Amino acid sequence: MDHKDRFLRLSLSEPDLAADHVLAAYILSPAEGHDFLNTAAAFAAESGRGTQVPLAHEDDFSRALDVIAYQAEPATGLIKLAFPLALFDFNLSDGKASITSFLNLLVGNTQGMSEIDAVKLHDFHLPAPFLKAFHGPATTIARLWQHLGRDPLSGGMITGAILKPKLGLRPEGLADAAYQFWLGGDLVKNDQPQGNQSFAPLKSTLRRMADALTRAQDKTGEAKIFSANITADSPTEMDMRTELAIRAFKHNPDSLTFHVDAYLAGPMALPHARRRLPKHFISAHRAGHAAITSARSNRGYSAFVLTKINRLLGASGIHTGTMGFGRMEGDEADRPIACMIAQNVASGPYFEQDWHGMNRSAAIVSGGINALRLPSFLQNLGHSNFILAAGGGAFGHVDGPQAGALSLRQAEACWLERADPIEFAAEHPEFARSFPSFEADADIIHPGWRRALAQDSSNQ
Ligand code: RUB
């Protein structure tokens, strides 16, 4: 069947379509022997009608709901599709837009079409009425800055850690690691698989964590934050874990935030948490996402798309990677990912998105970051208004988690002062000790550091 006549309309205007369609930009490569333009049209046909054959019982109404390919560039593989808003499913329970329907239409059955060698969603645009039909974040990083006693408009880096090792510590070990970090840092979060293991029953871990937070607040005189992992494989279980955390932290309710493994738990998990916690700060972890978002994968959707979806679904904090400065995939060009979630109007790779006042999400920066790597990350991003969640960079410091936390705080100060890190190290011992803590990084980032720091200490 030639689909071009009905499903390929390259004369349509994107601004006109944008008002009442969801727009989507893909990079598509046809299977061997398949024409690009006809494959793009077939992709559009399948996206809307779900079949490739004429249907005698179709009428004008259903034909008016066709998904149309309005841009197709054989040279780059770029195609853009327009999805009529009427195609999308809305929840009976609260009238909110359904993310499962959104994913079904944009990255559903079409991913497996035999005419296609590969197709990946790189950006999408939502018109105001549809965007507002998603929950969006209940609160923002301003809430955390206020809790920490900082400027709610620009409170700077929230120095946080992900409890490491990700599995193996018992409740007292987890609580002690958290306490030690809180003596120097602001926030501790569970790592993504930390839940209700036999050696660390959740109830006991949460009780000890809450006690450690209270002791750290008393010791330092500073407010602290915990991000409790409530990820589970059913909404009922998620609710049970949420209740346990709320009870455990009943004496410090404002210190409690929540963490959901938003990719692994599936698209239902974050919306469920957001409905259950209409006032709380929820962080979206993205463990596992690289299986489809990796730049080395040409199917599924990009990390940019996942990040944008997480803001729509209500994540106040979103793991956005380290843009090539850490140990996970990514590069400096990923900067738009952090901008898209933190601004009211932002440009993606193919569309400018107006968020119409939807609460902003904060970037959660994690993955191989330590005090030595942080200054160049900050230089690339251009600000430090985000949540840092260092694992090894906090707990791998030779002088322990408190020193690890202080070294990260000092690294932010070093960048804010635009100071030379070697000179800065002379006045900041925890930062100085991050050099021997992360020698391989030190050798690359600051060759000759051993002699320079030795001279510093001999000059003192
Ligand atoms: C960080 C860590 C994080 C992932 C998140 O540990 O394990 O869960 O790196 O990555 P470390 P992302 O600091 O020791 O690398 O934020 O890119 O999803």
Which pLDDT score is estimated for 230?
Answer: 98
At 311 the pLDDT is 98
Rounded mean pLDDT, 64-86: 97
Q: Are 327 and 367 in contact (CB under 8 A)?
A: yes
Whether residue 21 contacts residue 83, with contact meaning beta carbons closer than 8 Å, is answered with yes
Contact status, residue 83 vs residue 105, Cβ threshold 8 Å: yes
| Total Cβ atoms within 10 A of residue 251 | 10
Whether 390 is in the pocket of ligand 1, judged by its Cβ within 6 Å, is yes
290 lines ligand 1 (CB under 6 A): no
Instruction: Tell me, in angstroms, the distance from the centre of ligand 1 to residue 285's CA.
Output: 9
Asked whether 107 and 283 are in contact (CB, 8 A), the reply is no
287, 255 in Cβ contact below 8 A?
A: no
CA dist., res. 85 & res. 88, Å (int): 6
What does the pLDDT read at residue 256? 98
pLDDT digits (tens, 9 = 90+) for 295-308: 999 999 999 999 99
Q: How much of the chain exceeds pLDDT 70, in percent?
A: 98
Task: Say which amino acid occupies 4.
Answer: K
Q: State the closest ligand 1 atom to the C-alpha of 369, by its place in the atom list counted from 1.
A: 13
pLDDT at 460 over 80: no
Does pLDDT of 333 surpass 80?
no
Q: In a 3-state reduction of DSSP, which class is residue 306?
A: helix
- For 436, list phi and psi in degrees, rounded to 5: -70, -20
3-state secondary structure of 2: coil
Q: In what order do the strands lie in the sheet with 300-301?
A: 68-73, 78-84, 21-30, 116-125, 300-301
Q: Whose CA is nearest to atom 10 of ligand 1?
A: 367
Nearest CA, atom 12, ligand 1 = 321
Q: What is the pLDDT of residue 457?
A: 64
- What 8-state DSSP symbol labels residue 135? -
426 Cα distance to chain centroid: 36
Rounded to whole angstroms, how far apart are CA atoms 419 and 417? 5
pLDDT tens per residue across span 133-157: 999 999 999 999 999 999 999 999 9
Give the pTM.
Answer: 0.95
Nearest-CA residue for ligand 1 atom 9 is 367
Is 304 within 8 Å of 122 (Cβ atoms)?
Answer: yes
Where along the chain do its domains lie? 7-131, 141-445
* 446 flagged as catalytic: no
Residues paired with residue 189 on neighbouring β-strands, in sequence order? 162, 227
pLDDT band at 336 (very low <50, low <70, confident <90, very high): confident
pLDDT confidence of residue 454: 86
Q: Is 317 in the pocket of ligand 1 (CB under 6 A)?
A: no
Residue 331 has pLDDT above 80, yes or no: no
Q: Whose CA is nearest to atom 2 of ligand 1?
A: 367
**What's the gap in Å between 392 CA and the centre of ligand 1?**
9
For residue range 228-283, what is the model confidence (pLDDT) as tens digits? 999 999 999 999 999 999 999 999 999 999 999 999 999 999 999 999 999 999 99
Catalytic-residue membership of 132: no
Sort 54 into a burial class: Cβ within 10 Å, 0-12 / 13-18 / 19+: exposed
Nearest alpha carbon, ligand 1 atom 7: 367
Omega before 165 cis (within 30°)? yes
438 versus 337: which is more confidently predicted?
438
Q: Give Rg (Cα) of the chain.
A: 24
Higher pLDDT, 108 or 2: 108
pLDDT digits (tens, 9 = 90+) for 405-430: 999 999 999 999 999 999 999 999 99
**Class at the top of the CATH hierarchy for domain 7-131:** alpha beta
Counting from 1 in the atom list of ligand 1, the atom nearest the Cα of 287 is: 18
Closest by Cα among 439, 440, 432, 419 to 459: 432
pLDDT of 377-391, one tens digit each? Answer: 999 999 999 999 999
For residue 366, report the distance from its CA to the centre of ligand 1, in Å: 4
| Atom 3 (ligand 1) nearest CA | 367
Regarding the beta carbon of 408 and ligand 1, being less than 6 Å apart is answered no
Looking at residue 164, the DSSP 8-state letter turns out to be S
Pocket test for ligand 1, best of 187, 306, 366 (most atoms within 8 A of CB): 366
Options 4, 120, 164, 189, the catalytic residue: 164
161-178 burial code (b ≥16 CB/10 A, e <16): bbbbeeeebebebbbebb
The CATH code of domain 141-445 reads: 3.20.20.110
pLDDT at 338: 86
